Structures are given as C-alpha cells and as structure tokens.
Amino acid sequence: MANLFPEFAVQRTEEDVLVCLIGSAKNYDNSVQSAVNYILENQVPAFIVTPRQSVEELHYLIEPYAVVGIIQALTLNRFSDEDFVQETTVSLTSEYEHKQTLFDEQKIGKDDVRWKLEDHPSLIKSKLSTLRTLRENSKHERNGIGRTVWTEFEKVCKAAFAYLDFELEVGQGGVDNEGSEVADAVIGYPPMEIPDRVELSRLHGVVDAKSASQVDFDGEAVSKQLDYFDEIKGDKLYQSFTKLHLFVVFDFDAEKVLDWYETAKLHYPDQTGMVVLTADALRSMVDLNQSPLALSAVNRGEFDTRHVFRYFFDPKLYTRPEFVDVAELLDLSEWSGTEPETQHRYQAEDELLIVTQEMVLEWIDGIHSKQHDTDSLFQVE
C-alpha cells in the first residue's frame, strides 16, 4: 500500500526500491525536497516521478544532494516504459546490494553516520567543520552531544583517510571496538617510488582522533599511546617500514605538543614519526581529492595525489636532500601567535610534523604555480 504525504505519494517495491510520485502541489520545490529527504532517511534506491513534461527542473532540484547514484528522476511517460524501469532498477539495486554487503562485513548498521558519508562524500568536509562547532557547544565529553561528536569525529576521520587512499578497515578501531584499548584506526600507505628521487618504504601508523576543542596533551598518557603500536607489531615487515603516530585535532597548543613529544620520542619504536593534523587540513585534503581542477594540476606535475599526501604524513622527508625543493614549497612552522622559542624547538625536531590547513593550501598553490611552467596538453594555434 502506498503512503500518502501532502507533497508526494510513495510505494516500496518488492525489489526494495522506493517510487515517489510528486503531487501537483503549488510549491513544487518543497515537494521534491520532502521526497528526497524521505528517500535519504530510508537509505534505499528510489525513483522520483514528476507529473511535468520534463525532468530538467527535477534534476536541478536534486543535484545539490549529490544523489545521482541513489535517485533516478523520471517523467510519468518514461516511468511507463517497463523495460527501461526494469533495467534501471537492476542497476540501482545491484550497486546498493554490493554496498550493503561491504557494510555488513564491517558490522556497520544503517543508523551509522558512515552510511551517509558513503552516499555523500562531500558530507565528510561538512562534518569536519560542523562537528567542531557542536563540540564547542557541548559540556560533557561522552554524554549527549559530546558523545555524538566524539564518535562521529572518529568515524568521519576514518572515512576521510579511506577517501585519501589510505589502507584501513573503516569498521575497526576506537568506538567500533569500545571497551578495548585500541587506536581509533590503523592506517597504511604502500611503498612508492618517486621518479628520479628515491623509493619510499611502506608507511604504517596508528591514529588517535581528538574531538576536544583544543587537544589536552598534558592529560594524555604516553604509555597508553605507545600501547597502540602493539596493533602493528604483528606485521612481518614491522622493523623495515616507516611508522607513524598520528593525532587528528581541531586545535592545538604548539608548546604542549612539543613537551609531550619530547617524552614520547624517547620510547617510540625506531623509524617513528609523529604528525599532528588539524581537522581543517584534513578537510582541505579531501577537497583536493574531490576537485577536478586541483587533481588535474597535481596529476600533470611530478607527483600524483598519493605522493602529495605522503608528504604530510612522513616528517623525515623534509630533512632529506632529495626533497629540498619540496621542503621549500611549504612553511612548516608558521602558526599565528607562536613564540620564536617554540618555533626553534619545533624546527629542531626532524620526526615531528604539524600540518595545518594553510600548509595544505600552500602546497596546492605551489603545485598550481609550477604548472604554468609546463607545456599544455592541448596545442591551440
């Protein structure tokens, strides 16, 4: 039986596909928006059928939701084409069932934020911004809004790293193993060879996503963080690959970061670098990976995106002579309000890197500037 709403009617088919028929309400835009919201809440493929002669306006209205793979817009005439509808249904449901299998394997339920992130990658960027605002308005670490921010921030960070081509299991670690003393995520980057430079060893690291408005390194136990490395010691190549200790934060106090690192580095495994990455910087990396213009500039240059991201997670690269030109692209220690003494302390640490949004954007601008010195792919007379 169809469900009737003021703006539309909806029927769920045997294939678990929603069919939403937009009514002849005076406010067509609101009717479409209500139907789309209903579909997104149910998280299944759907047809939206318009009584109008063209779907052009309907496409325009649903486009901001970035749901082309979930929702198929049709006119009534097109919806009456049984063969076309059947073919489209198979396409929509096959993709959905494949995704459902992946989520089931990771034991991720439909109420998890990662379902939304899967369908709307741009939501990763939005969440990395809005969660900070929610965090600053919350009063309790793990109750109510505070707990929501804590769990969602961790999940969004893992989704972002997966989007940046890191190796990780998005359904493992942190809140997904609540009650166990494990890192929020274990991430990896394969070995890579940079032409005319050097071959870089595998990068393997542990991640701690800190949802406090400003991370409190004073209260962070070094021993607890070191225990996280037990999760990667089982790898037979543990001694040979580059190890990473990564904190994702909304904000930081550079002096407290340095104080904490000076203790931690005495106990780190060999070849371990520590990176403090701001959520804004992570958001800009995701944005780079979603931008055709930025990707085009990077991929036409000397490095592809994997090379670019590696530079933000491997502090020692900046001290190697093969990468002196790369180091010159970035100002590694310019933060507003940082005292000169703190700058000097930081510059003396070869295996600590603090990555801000300014650094990421500066890198992209530097790559873009270098493109002006390259030949165009198109020769226009």
Asked whether residue 299 is domain-assigned, the answer is: yes
User: According to the model, what pLDDT value does residue 112 have?
Assistant: 66
- The answer on 172 and 100 residing in a single domain is no
**Look-up: residue for tokens 């169809």?**
2
Asked whether residue 133 is domain-assigned, the answer is: no
Tokens in use for 269? 């495994």
Asked whether residue 136 is domain-assigned, the answer is: no
Sign of CA dihedral 352, 354, 360, 366: negative
At 112, give phi and psi (nearest 5°): -80, 140
Give the number of domains in the chain. 2
Asked whether residue 220 is domain-assigned, the answer is: yes
What stretches of the chain show up as alpha helix (H) in DSSP? 28-42, 56-62, 76-79, 82-105, 113-119, 122-137, 144-163, 222-227, 254-264, 279-290, 292-299, 305-310, 324-327, 340-347, 357-371
User: According to the model, what pLDDT value does residue 54 have?
Assistant: 86
Whether the per-residue pLDDT at 378 is higher than 50: the answer is no
- The answer on 234 and 86 residing in a single domain is no
Q: What is the pLDDT of residues 189-224, one digit of tens each?
A: 887 776 666 677 788 888 999 888 778 888 888 888
The parent domain of residue 35 ranges over 3-105
Asked whether residue 83 is domain-assigned, the answer is: yes
User: According to the model, what pLDDT value does residue 248 have?
Assistant: 94
- The answer on 340 and 195 residing in a single domain is yes
User: According to the model, what pLDDT value does residue 198 have?
Assistant: 67
- On whether the pTM is more than 0.75, the answer is no
Last residue of a domain, one of 71, 105, 139: 105
Last residue of a domain, one of 105, 138, 173: 105
The model's confidence at residue 377, banded by pLDDT at 50, 70 and 90, is very low
Q: Which residues of 48-59 are buried (b: 16+ CB within 10 A; e: fewer)?
A: bbbeeeebeebe
- The answer on 216 and 309 residing in a single domain is yes
- The answer on 289 and 201 residing in a single domain is yes
The whole-angstrom separation of Cα 119 and Cα 99 is 10
Asked whether residue 122 is domain-assigned, the answer is: no
Q: What is the pLDDT of residues 267-316, one digit of tens each?
A: 998 888 999 999 999 998 888 877 766 666 666 655 556 667 777 888 77
Helix (H/G/I), strand (E/B), else coil: 55: coil
Asked whether residue 344 is domain-assigned, the answer is: yes
- The answer on 166 and 85 residing in a single domain is no
User: According to the model, what pLDDT value does residue 274 have?
Assistant: 93
H, E, C per residue of 263-332: HHCCCCCCCEEEEEEEHHHHHHHHHHHHCHHHHHHHHCCCCCHHHHHHCCCCHHHHHCHHHHHHHCCCCC
The model's confidence at residue 257, banded by pLDDT at 50, 70 and 90, is very high
User: According to the model, what pLDDT value does residue 249 have?
Assistant: 93
- The answer on 186 and 335 residing in a single domain is yes
User: According to the model, what pLDDT value does residue 87 have?
Assistant: 87
Last residue of a domain, one of 43, 73, 105: 105
CA dihedral 222, 228, 230, 235 (to 10 degrees): -130
The model's confidence at residue 92, banded by pLDDT at 50, 70 and 90, is confident
Mean pLDDT of the chain: 77
Asked whether residue 353 is domain-assigned, the answer is: yes
- The answer on 96 and 185 residing in a single domain is no
- The answer on 322 and 178 residing in a single domain is yes
Q: The CATH number of the domain where 329 resides is what?
A: 3.40.91
- The answer on 301 and 242 residing in a single domain is yes
- The answer on 100 and 160 residing in a single domain is no
Tokens in use for 175? 């809140």
Assess contact for 233 and 274: CB atoms under 8 A. no
- The answer on 306 and 174 residing in a single domain is yes
